[in-house]
Structures are given as C-alpha cells and as structure tokens.
C-alpha cells in the first residue's frame, strides 16, 4: 500500500508573481500581429480549391480584378517566382516528395482548399468580395483522404525505424495479456488568435514582417532562404502570440503568399487566415491508428509491450512524430517492440500539436495499462509502481531526476482515489454513474542554446533581451522571476524584451524547452552581470547590491553582458525527462451517455517550479486540452469530397467553461540538479500527455464501457 | 459579402412596406443572418432593421402570455412572469446558444434561424435547401446531427432552436403581419417539413413579419422540464432535446405536452405520446410506454442512428425530471 502523501508542501497558485504582461493583455494594450496599423495597408484574402486532387484547368480573375478597391489578383500564372521554390528537394530522386507546399507555384492541387488565388484590395471587405468572384475550373483526379485502419498501407518515416528491446512481441507469451486498437482523429490547434501576417518590403531586398510565430529567428532564417535575402535584411516581429500549440513552429504557405503579395503591390499586405482556413493551412495533430499488445505475469510484472502506430501525412511532405515513444520508456518492461508508419493521403501536412505524438501514444498505452489492471485485478497505480522505471529503459542511463512515484501519491490523495471501485459500474451519485481514472505521461526535458543580453541602467532598471517568443505560457513572467532572484531586485525593476529577430539568439518556443533553455541563459547572464558590479566594488561586495548607486559612483550610464548558455556535459550522462500524472473523477449519465468531468487533479514532476501562477495555468490549459481530446475534438472529412465539414468553432468542439470543473494543479517541486541552475524542467507538453487516457479510464470505471476511438461522445456510451 | 442597402423603419406600417420588396431580409439580432451573409449562403440586396419597432413587450393578456418578437432571448429567459407561468420556455432558452448570443438574439429571430446543417453552410457542397435541385449533401454524407422524423428525399436537416421546442409544446400561437393584414398561426404549424421544397423553412410569407408569440394559460408550471443532450455542456446544438410539461393531480397525469428538438425539420411535437400519458400514473413505466409511441416512424441514417436510442431515453429522463421522479 502507498504511504500517505503530505500535500501541504506543494506551492499553491497564490504564490508568486502575476503575469508581467497580464494588464497589457486584458486591457488590449498588447498588440498581436494583425493589430498593427501601417500606412498604405492593403488586405489579402485567399481563394481555396474546391477539389482535393488534380490540376487547375482554368482560372478566371477578370471580374475580381475589376471589383472595387482591388489592387492585385495573384495566381500561379502571374505570381513572381519565389527563389526557394525553384530548388528541387532532392534532385535525381523522383520518389522523394516535393516538400512543403509551394504556394502559387504550379497548377497542381494537393488538398482541398489548396490556395489557388489571392486577392489584395484596399479594404478587407472588398478583398473578400472580390475573392468570391474568382472562378476556377479543375481537372479532377481521384483522391484518397481515408485514414489508415492498420499499419499495412504505411511506410516507415526516415527517422522512425522499428524498435525492439529484448524479445520481439514477447507480450504474446505472457500469462495475462490483451491486444487492442485505439484511434485518435485529426485534431486542430485552433488557437484563439488566427494566424496572421503583415508583410512590408522596405526596399527590394529588405523585408519586415509582423507574424504569428513561435520562433522569430527560425522564421527569419526560413523566409530569408525562401526569398534569397540576407538574414539581417529580414526583420520578424512577434511581440504577442495568442496561443499556437505548435501551429506556428514553421513558415506556412500563407506567410509566403503575403510576402509575394506585398512585392506585387509594393504596399504592406495584411493576411489573416479565416477559421476554416485554419483547418487546412497550418497543420494539425494527425489521425493515428494504434494497436497495443501488452502482457504481464499474474502479479503484474510487465512481460512485453508491442506498440504499432500509423499516422497520416500529406502526399507532398512527410511528417512523423513519436506516438510509440512512451511505450519504449514509461515503464520498466524488458521486452518492447514498436512499429511506426506514416500513410500519405490527399490532405495537408500535419505538424506538432501540444504533447505531439506522445499525447497520442499515451492515450493508447495508458488505456491499455488500465485494461490490463482490470484483468490482473491490480490497482492501476499499483500496476504502475510495480513496473516503475528507476533508470531510462531505452538508454540505460540514470534519470537526472524522477519523482513520479511521489506524484502518484499526491494525486491519488487529492482526487480521493480510495473511493474508486475496483470493478466498473459500481458507484452512482444522484442517478449518475461515478468513475475514477488516471493516466500519466512523460516528455523529454530539453535544454537548448540561448543568448541573453542583460543591461542594468543608472535608473536601476534591468533589461533582458532575447529573441524568444511567448505563445502564452508566461515566459516573460518566469524569466523576470529568475532574474529578480539572481539580482536581488524587485520584479517591477525588470523589463524582459523578446519577440524580435534582431535580439540575441533564442530557440523556438516549442518542446517545453523555454524555461530550461532561456531561463538558464537569464540565470547565467544575471550572474555575470552581478559579478561585473562586484568587481567594480573591488571587494566582491555583498549579495544585496545597489546597482544604481554603483553605476553613479563609477560615473557609468549602464553595464551590460551578453551570455550564451546551454546544457553542460550532464546532458550526456543523464536521461532528462519531465513527468506527469492526471486523475479524473467523472459522472456519466446511464441513459443519455453525457459525461461530466467532476474533478481533475494533475501532478507534474518537472523540477523546480519557477513561476507558480503561470505553471498552474500551463497545467490547467493542458488538462483542458486533454478533456477536449478525450470528449470532443474531431475533424471530420466528407470522404466523397475530401473536404472538412466541421471547420469552424461551432461544429469543431473544444471544451467551454461549463465543461470544466475545478482543476487542481500540483507540483512535486523538487529540483533537477543536472539540467540547469534553477533545477527547472519543461511542463507544456506533460500538462496534456496522459490526460485523455485519465478521462477514458474514468469513463470505463463509471460505466464498464471501454471507448478506444476518441472522442468519447454520448452516442458511444448508450 | 455583397453590398446591400440598409433601412431602419420606426413604425410597423413603414416596416411592412419596406419588407415587401424583392431581395429583402429582415434583421433583428443578426446572430444567424450575419453568419449566413458572411458565408455567402444568402446575399440580400436590402436589409430592413426592425430593432426600432416597439415589439419588446412581455405581458399577460386574456390570451395568456404575450411576448414581443423583439424581446431578447436573455430577457425572456430571466423574466419573472415567464419563469412563474411558463418555466419550460425559460429553461429551453437558457439551454440555447451562449449568453453572448442570447443577449443579441430575439424571439422572432430565433424562430426564423436556419438549419446548422454543414452542407447548407458550405456553398461548394450540394444542398437543396440553399440551392434547390443541387441534391442533399447530408443524405449520404456526415449526418450525425440530422433528422430522424419527417424527412424527405430532398432534405434531412433539423431546425436548431431550443426555444421553439418549448413553444411548440406549450401550444403557442405566432402573430404575424403583412400587407394583407394580421394573422395568427398555431406554433406547431409555423415551421414546415422539407417535402419537395426544403428551401422553405416556415409559413411566413416573404412580405410578412412576426409581431409576437402568445402562450395560453396552462397548469404545467409545476411539472415542466427541458432536457438537452449535447456534445458539450454549452454552445452546442442538441443531439436530442425534449420539452416535457405535465399536469399531475394526485399522481395521475391529467394532461401532457411533449416536443423534441434535434430530430426533425421543425420542432417535433409528440401528440400520440401525449395522449398515451393522459390518465396514466406519473411513473417511469408510463413514460417508457409514451417514449415507445413517440418513436414510431423514426428512421436513422449512417451517422445519426444513435438518436433512435437516445431520443426515447431522453424523453423518459425529461418526463422523470418534470414529474419530480429525479
């Protein structure tokens, strides 16, 4: 049995600093990419194909060109060439896919709503009206948008070979075993802020863009390459990002289109995607079919796991991710086999979406573990503890830190796990069936390279500069807290500047790496700056320094340092991971199949919590994403047309306030001594990974119905 | 969006004159019409904004409860008289849309809203309701939200309203006016089935407008319930919804009113089930019998066959709530 956990040591959301940009965001002072007003601004609207595969036969733009206010109508026939489009991906290798969709490049249609034209006008409304006048005809070819039902049609991605540890498919020989299939539909990031760009050519070879991106430096690099420009001639601004979840990790065709358009009209062009465009233009979490075979001894020791997965990708570009990763590494299982394939369809290319791959995989693995626990008649938490991995099962390396067992204890206590019935469909509350479920996850704890410039001025204000983006987790807040602690000054004396490509290098905000990466660099920069001040004082000084006074005494306007920082040699010695476990209590109506989430407890083991308030928000947001994944999210294609039929926020459901109960976000909050000086690891992905299984497992506990095809809508429970 | 002219009459007479011209649409809250215009589903030449007309009144008259066509959904749902006399209506309104939409949407507009069938909204798809003769995209397509009663081979769309389900159950009357004068239409006859003309949602002529709805007095206030089953707890259309109103004396049902939403091209009144309930004890067994009767003639399609099971279950649950069994 588990020992009683002490909860009182966990930081609460009342601790710590509120978002440094909170006031700007709620008052509207924060400017998002589409909100900049430029002199001579023009507005672009895309026209998408109505077929899914084939070629454009003709395209009539005459009426659109004559419409009021129209400045240009761009198609593949008249678009200026984009230098980056002319480079063959792999010359001499015709079997290699053509690569990212080249907008206005030729007459080929690769997916439904493939951009075939762009209208630029002096107002958005006029552009939109003129766009409705563009008439294209097509040579239609047969399309295939049907998602895979097994692994057979797929091919192994270049980075995804089959994996075996121990004996292949050993689960089949275990005394207790099961094999099940799980599917997850296409899911869409759908951040509240639509993808938007304003492009302005300052001269023939100088470009400025205001763009929704998770990485201003990477976007600058990609756009410089595409248009054959010097990197320093491209300025990318992304001061505020209204959510992205992975959809802004790369440059998409609409961004290239806007830049082409700005060149044609030689005025600034603003292009904001419509919500339906968001379903075809900026990636998505791919439909993935999975099969898990899992076997154990009668006392719950895992014998083997075989995890097969097939995800969809586009006909023109491979996308692969790691749904099978969790099965390799989450448990100490001697025999693991994984096979992962991708299937090319006439659809857009998927991309990373929060908890990429791992969230998909964790739904299958953590559901299978739950199914196994009922067969074994072992408590699901106990089953996980029996198979607890103390070292990394893949590399054999020790973990830099792992307190997942403590997370289990804390979560079990807070959700009231003792009230869970061991058999399904045993508990009711006011006529509703009651169930408890749990599911865990892991994700690599990455620390990349980042450079931070720290400037202390005579007014005592510290400015920190680095080219990271903040897509919502509260990066500015966490960085301010790290700097405040290091420098021994109040957070309100600190300015954190980011989201501009001219600032010192920082990686994209993705893969839960920002706090560890940029935080490490902020820590080092502040340390170096402080040492500079201590040197000035001669005697090394005390810990509490009056920076303004020191500058004044030395007649200096400011002192600054620029520091690059990255992971040390510990990265080779240790396996670095973040961990999470989610617990849910659900109510299911026995007749109507309606599921209400009654309570959620999430516990993260991601090292030291730098910023308790924003960390809590991260976990709450991830948990809500997981509820959506479990109960609602599903992009539906009408296979006859290859076209999405629910491409809007009324028909594509994400949770609303009424669906969300109290969510307790708790943290083990023990430092990882190896990743960085704060001991902080990422948590953006683990907030979601495992959550869908926690809901599905609770629904089973409530009803005895195992739903393996997400989402769990009422019709699947009656 | 196509350019259009806009007029805002201040009297009923000028409004009636204004709406008679071809290509004209009436706008009140605009919560549906503006979407339809943005999507290119409808492209009026002229909008007649009727918000300046004095049609917001909620009052009791000799005919029962009178609600003006321009009364806001949010106002009606919170009105003390409505809650006291016709709580079913308040419950249904609160189950609809979102608070923001209810703050804009009017009673007349709610009645005139169009189906949310995805094929109706996508102008690249076939749809007999939007473009007669092009076929029905939903029939062999993604029809999870679609009708199981009263369909035709032209259309299987459903009427999306919650409010209208309650009004159909409560024997409301719609008062409309036009150049030919004022007339009264029983609520259950206001909306129509698709038949061969799915482009027509209801009986309102092009040159008519809604003035009010009237709900006669009844004994249902104590035992009413609106149950909406949906994919999420707010801002989602009904998979199935049921408006149930019972007059129960000493445990015996004197009279019952039942209507369903999310199952037909119009609010689907369950007359036969109501008859079966009259005189029966208010028990789960009686409700189950009524639900079976209610389902006669239902027909599912590929993705909505679950409604054949969900609908009777929802009827029983709604009746249990209305009668106080839950």
Q: pLDDT tens digits, residue range A585-598?
A: 999 999 999 999 99
Contacts of B231 in chain A (CB under 8 A): 631-632, 653, 713-714
CA distance B253 to chain A (A): 23
| B271 vs A: CB within 8 A | no
| B324 vs A: CB within 8 A | no
Domain holding B40, by residue range, is: 5-51
The predicted pLDDT at position B63 comes to 78
Would you state the CATH architecture of domain A1-29+397-444+574-718?
2-Layer Sandwich (3.30)
CA distance A668 to chain B (A): 32
- Residues A676 and A669: their CA atoms lie apart, in Å, by 15
Are B110 and B163 in contact by the 8 Å Cβ rule? The answer is yes
- CATH number, position B266: 3.30.390.50
The predicted pLDDT at position A12 comes to 45
The predicted pLDDT at position B299 comes to 98
How many CB atoms lie under 10 A from the CB of residue A47? 25
Measuring CA to CA, which residue among A293, A285, A268, A102 is closest to residue A199?
Answer: A268
- Residues A25 and A240: their CA atoms lie apart, in Å, by 9
| Digit-coded pLDDT (tens) for A145-204 | 999 899 998 999 988 889 999 999 999 999 999 999 999 999 999 999 999 999 999 999
Give the side-chain half-sphere CA count within 13 A for B18: 21
Per the domain annotation, does B30 fall within a domain?
yes
Contacts of A645 in chain B (CB under 8 A): 118-119, 122, 125, 141-142
Q: Where are the domains of chain A?
A: 1-29+397-444+574-718, 40-141+190-279, 146-187+290-396, 450-566
| A3 vs B: CB within 8 A | no
- Model confidence at A94, pLDDT cuts 50, 70, 90, reads low
Q: With 80 as the cut, is the pLDDT of residue A399 above it? A: yes
Question: What is the count of structural domains for chain B?
Answer: 2
User: Which residue of chain B comes nearest to A712, CA vs CA?
Assistant: B231
Which helix (H) or strand (E) is A572 found in, with range?
A: helix A570-573
- Residues A434 and A590: their CA atoms lie apart, in Å, by 10
- Residues A271 and B35: their CA atoms lie apart, in Å, by 21
Measuring CA to CA, which residue among B231, B324, B245 is closest to residue B284?
Answer: B324
Per the domain annotation, does B33 fall within a domain?
yes
Q: Are the beta carbons of B116 and A650 separated by less than 8 Å?
A: yes
User: Which residue of chain B comes nearest to A596, CA vs CA?
Assistant: B233
The predicted pLDDT at position A541 comes to 58
Per the domain annotation, does B104 fall within a domain?
no
Q: Are the beta carbons of B142 and A650 separated by less than 8 Å?
A: no
Per the domain annotation, does B69 fall within a domain?
no
The predicted pLDDT at position A600 comes to 98
| Digit-coded pLDDT (tens) for A352-373 | 999 999 999 999 999 999 999 9
The CATH code of the domain at A40-141+190-279 is 3.30.365.10
For chain A positions 632-661, those within 8 Å of chain B (CB to CB) are: 632, 636, 638, 640-641, 643, 645-646, 650-651, 653, 655-659
Residue recorded with tokens 């709805």: B213
Cis-peptide, bond into residue A711, ω within 30° of zero: yes
Measuring CA to CA, which residue among A226, A404, A393 is closest to residue A325?
Answer: A393
Q: Are the beta carbons of B118 and A651 separated by less than 8 Å?
A: yes
Contacts of B324 in chain A (CB under 8 A): none
Name the residue facing B118 among A631, A632, A646 (closest C-beta). Answer: A646
The predicted pLDDT at position B148 comes to 98
Are A520 and A486 in contact by the 8 Å Cβ rule? The answer is no
Q: With 70 as the cut, is the pLDDT of residue A90 above it? A: no
Name the residue facing A658 among B119, B142, B233 (closest C-beta). Answer: B233
Q: Tens place of pLDDT for every residue, chain B, 326 residues?
A: 788 999 999 999 999 999 988 899 999 999 999 999 999 999 999 999 999 999 999 999 987 999 999 999 999 999 999 999 999 999 999 999 999 999 999 999 999 999 999 999 999 999 999 999 999 999 999 999 999 999 999 999 999 999 999 999 999 999 999 999 999 999 999 999 999 999 999 999 999 999 999 999 999 999 999 999 999 999 999 999 999 999 999 999 999 999 999 999 999 999 999 999 999 999 999 999 999 999 999 999 999 999 999 999 999 999 999 999 99
CA distance B304 to chain A (A): 9
| Digit-coded pLDDT (tens) for A205-250 | 999 999 999 999 999 999 999 999 999 999 999 999 999 999 999 9
| Digit-coded pLDDT (tens) for A284-339 | 999 999 999 999 999 999 999 999 999 999 999 999 999 999 999 999 999 999 99
- Model confidence at A376, pLDDT cuts 50, 70, 90, reads very high
| Digit-coded pLDDT (tens) for A104-121 | 999 999 999 999 999 999
- Residues A602 and A584: their CA atoms lie apart, in Å, by 9
The CATH code of the domain at A450-566 is 3.30.365.10
Q: Which CATH number fits domain A146-187+290-396: 3.40.462.10, 3.55.50.30, 2.60.40.10, 3.30.365.10?
A: 3.30.365.10
3-state secondary structure A286-335: CCEEEEEEEEECCCCCEEEEEEEEEEEEECCCCCCCCCCHHHHHCECCCE
The predicted pLDDT at position A1 comes to 39
Q: Are the beta carbons of B326 and A638 separated by less than 8 Å?
A: no
- Residues A153 and A343: their CA atoms lie apart, in Å, by 6
Residues 6+ apart with CB under 8 A from A637: A145, A186, A347, A643, A644, A645
Are A258 and A199 in contact by the 8 Å Cβ rule? The answer is yes
- Residues A85 and A105: their CA atoms lie apart, in Å, by 7
User: Which residue of chain B comes nearest to A660, CA vs CA?
Assistant: B233
Total beta-carbon pairs less than 8 A apart between chain A and chain B: 80
Per the domain annotation, does B307 fall within a domain?
yes
Q: Are the beta carbons of B137 and A638 separated by less than 8 Å?
A: yes
Per the domain annotation, does B158 fall within a domain?
no
The predicted pLDDT at position A554 comes to 95
Residue recorded with tokens 């065709």: A253
| A137 vs B: CB within 8 A | no
The predicted pLDDT at position A13 comes to 43
Residue A664 annotated in active site: no
The predicted pLDDT at position A544 comes to 78
- What's the gap between Cα A6 and its chain centre? 32
The predicted pLDDT at position A538 comes to 79
Name the residue facing B118 among A591, A645, A714 (closest C-beta). Answer: A645
- Residues A608 and A668: their CA atoms lie apart, in Å, by 8
- Residues A693 and A368: their CA atoms lie apart, in Å, by 9
Query: Please, what is the average pLDDT of chain A?
Result: 95
> Coil, strand, or helix at residue A542?
coil
The predicted pLDDT at position A96 comes to 77
Same fold, A1-29+397-444+574-718 and A450-566: yes
| Digit-coded pLDDT (tens) for B40-96 | 999 999 999 999 999 999 999 987 999 999 999 999 999 999 999 999 999 999 999
Q: Are the beta carbons of A591 and B125 separated by less than 8 Å?
A: no
Q: Are the beta carbons of A596 and B1 separated by less than 8 Å?
A: no
- Residues B92 and B169: their CA atoms lie apart, in Å, by 11
Annotate A573-606 with b (16+ C-beta within 10 A) or e (fewer).
Answer: ebbbbbbbbbbbbbbbbbbbbbbebbbbbbbbbb
The predicted pLDDT at position A10 comes to 45
> How far apart, in Å, do the first and last CA atoms of chain B sit?
49
Are A44 and A124 in contact by the 8 Å Cβ rule? The answer is no
Give the residue from A433, A648, A654, A714 with the most B CB atoms within 10 Å of its CB, the best one to mutate: A714
CA distance B121 to chain A (A): 9
ipTM of predicted complex: 0.97
Which helix (H) or strand (E) is B190 found in, with range?
A: helix B187-190
Q: Are the beta carbons of B233 and A50 separated by less than 8 Å?
A: no
For chain A positions 9-68, those within 8 Å of chain B (CB to CB) are: 50
Angle, CA of A457, A458 and A461, to the nearest 5° = 50
Supply B118's token pair.
Answer: 């995805």
Contacts of B160 in chain A (CB under 8 A): none
Per the domain annotation, does B316 fall within a domain?
yes
Give the side-chain half-sphere CA count within 13 A for B128: 19
Query: For chain A, how long is the longest CA-to-CA vector?
Result: 80
Could you tell me which residues are beta bridge partners of residue B241?
B228, B261
For chain A positions 407-426, those within 8 Å of chain B (CB to CB) are: none
């Amino acid at each position: 049995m588990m020992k009683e956990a002490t909860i009182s040591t966990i930081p609460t959301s009342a601790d710590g600093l509120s978002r440094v940009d909170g006031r700007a965001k709620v008052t509207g002072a924060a400017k998002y990419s589409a909100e900049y007003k430029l002199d001579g601004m023009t507005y672009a609207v895309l026209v998408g194909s109505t077929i899914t595969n084939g070629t454009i036969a003709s395209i009539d733009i005459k009426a659109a060109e004559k419409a009021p206010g129209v400045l240009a109508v761009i198609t593949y026939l008249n678009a200026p060439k984009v230098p980056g489009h002319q480079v063959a991906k792999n010359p001499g290798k015709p079997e290699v896919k053509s690569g990212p969709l080249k907008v206005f490049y030729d007459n080929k249609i690769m997916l439904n709503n493939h951009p075939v034209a762009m209208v630029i006008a002096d107002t958005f409304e006029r552009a939109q009206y003129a766009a409705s006048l563009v008439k294209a005809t097509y040579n239609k070819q047969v399309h295939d948008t049907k998602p895979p039902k097994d692994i057979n049609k797929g091919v192994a991605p270049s980075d995804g070979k089959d994996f075996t540890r121990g004996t292949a498919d050993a689960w089949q020989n275990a005394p207790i075993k099961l094999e099940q299939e799980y599917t997850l539909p296409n899911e869409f990031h759908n951040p509240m802020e639509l993808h938007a760009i304003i492009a302005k050519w300052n001269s023939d070879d100088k470009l400025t863009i205001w763009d929704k991106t998770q990485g201003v430096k990477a976007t600058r690099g990609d756009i410089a390459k595409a248009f054959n420009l010097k990197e320093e001639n491209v300025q990318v601004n992304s001061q505020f990002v209204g959510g992205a979840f992975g959809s802004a990790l790369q440059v998409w065709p609409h961004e290239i289109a806007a830049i082409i358009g700005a060149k044609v009209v030689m005025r600034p062009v603003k292009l904001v995607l419509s919500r339906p465009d968001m379903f075809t233009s900026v990636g998505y979490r791919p439909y993935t079919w999975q099969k898990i075979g899992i076997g154990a001894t009668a006392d719950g020791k895992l014998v083997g796991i075989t995890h097969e997965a097939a995800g969809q990708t586009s006909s023109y570009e491979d996308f692969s991710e790691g749904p099978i990763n969790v099965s390799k590494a989450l448990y100490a299982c001697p025999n693991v086999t994984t096979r992962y394939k991708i299937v090319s369809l006439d659809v857009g290319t998927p991309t990373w979406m929060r908890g990429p791959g791992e969230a998909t995989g964790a739904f299958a693995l953590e559901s299978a573990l739950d199914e196994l626990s009922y067969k074994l008649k072992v408590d699901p938490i106990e089953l996980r503890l029996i198979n607890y991995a103390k070292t990394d099962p893949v590399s054999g390396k020790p973990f830099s830190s792992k307190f997942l067992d403590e997370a289990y204890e804390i979560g079990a206590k807070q959700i009231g796990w003792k009230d869970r019935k061991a058999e399904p469909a045993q508990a009711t509350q006011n006529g509703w069936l009651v169930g408890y479920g749990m599911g865990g996850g892991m994700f690599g704890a990455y620390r990349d390279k980042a450079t931070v410039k720290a400037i202390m001025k005579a007014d005592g204000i510290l400015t920190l500069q680095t080219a990271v983006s903040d897509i919502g987790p509260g990066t500015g807040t966490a960085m301010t807290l790290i700097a405040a602690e290091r420098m021994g000054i109040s957070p309100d004396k600190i300015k954190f500047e980011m989201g501009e490509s001219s600032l010192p290098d920082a990686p994209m905000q993705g893969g839960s790496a920002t706090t560890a990466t940029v935080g490490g660099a902020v820590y080092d920069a502040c340390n170096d700056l402080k040492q500079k001040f201590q040197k000035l004082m001669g005697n090394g000084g005390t810990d509490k320094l009056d920076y303004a006074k020191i500058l004044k005494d030395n007649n200096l306007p400011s002192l600054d340092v620029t520091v690059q920082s990255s992971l040390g040699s510990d990265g080779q010695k240790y396996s670095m991971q973040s961990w999470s476990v989610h617990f849910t209590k659900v109510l299911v109506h026995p007749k109507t199949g309606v599921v209400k989430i009654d309570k959620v407890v999430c516990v993260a083991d991601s090292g030291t919590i730098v910023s308790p308030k924003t960390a809590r928000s991260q976990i709450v947001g991830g948990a809500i994403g997981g509820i959506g994944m479990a109960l609602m999210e599903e992009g539906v294609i009408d296979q006859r047309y290859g076209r999405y039929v629910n491409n809007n926020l009324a028909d594509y459901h994400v949770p609303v306030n009424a669906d969300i109960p109290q969510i307790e976000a708790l943290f083990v909050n023990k430092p990882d001594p190896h990743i960085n000086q704060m001991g902080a690891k990422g948590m953006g992905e683990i907030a979601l990974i495992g959550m869908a299984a926690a809901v599905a497992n609770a629904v089973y506990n409530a009803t005895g119905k195992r739903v393996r095809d997400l989402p769990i809508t009422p019709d699947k429970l009656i | 969006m196509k350019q259009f002219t806009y007029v805002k009459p201040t009297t009923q007479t000028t409004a009636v004159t204004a709406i008679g011209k071809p290509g004209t649409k009436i706008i009140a809250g605009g919560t549906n019409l503006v979407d339809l215009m943005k999507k290119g589903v409808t492209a009026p030449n002229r909008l007649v904004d009727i918000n300046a007309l004095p049609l917001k009144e909620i009052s009791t008259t000799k005919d029962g409860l009178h609600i003006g066509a321009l009364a806001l959904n949010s106002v009606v749902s919170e009105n003390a008289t409505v809650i006291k006399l016709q709580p079913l209506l308040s419950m249904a309104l609160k189950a609809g849309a979102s608070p923001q939409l209810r703050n804009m949407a009017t009673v007349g507009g709610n009645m005139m809203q169009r189906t949310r069938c995805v094929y109706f909204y996508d102008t690249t798809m076939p749809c007999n309701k939007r473009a007669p003769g092009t076929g029905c995209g939903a029939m062999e397509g993604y029809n999870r939200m679609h009708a199981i009663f009263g369909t035709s081979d032209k259309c299987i769309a459903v009427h999306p309203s919650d409010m209208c389900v309650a009004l159909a159950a409560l024997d409301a009357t719609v008062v409309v006016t036009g150049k030919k004068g004022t007339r009264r239409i029983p609520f259950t006859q206001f909306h129509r089935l698709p038949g061969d003309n799915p482009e027509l949602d209801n009986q309102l002529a092009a040159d008519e407008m809604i003035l009010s709805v009237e709900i006669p007095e009844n004994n249902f206030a104590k035992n009413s319930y609106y149950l909406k089953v949906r994919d999420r707890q707010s801002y989602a259309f009904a998979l199935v919804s049921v408006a149930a109103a019972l007059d129960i004396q000493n445990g015996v049902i004197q009279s019952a009113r039942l209507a369903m939403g999310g199952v037909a091209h119009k609010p689907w009144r369950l007359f036969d089930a109501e008859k079966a309930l009259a005189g029966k004890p208010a028990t789960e067994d009686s409700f189950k019998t009524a639900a079976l009767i209610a389902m006669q003639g239902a027909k599912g399609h590929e993705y909505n066959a679950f409604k054949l099971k969900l609908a009777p279950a929802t009827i029983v649950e709604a009746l249990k709530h209305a009668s106080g069994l839950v």
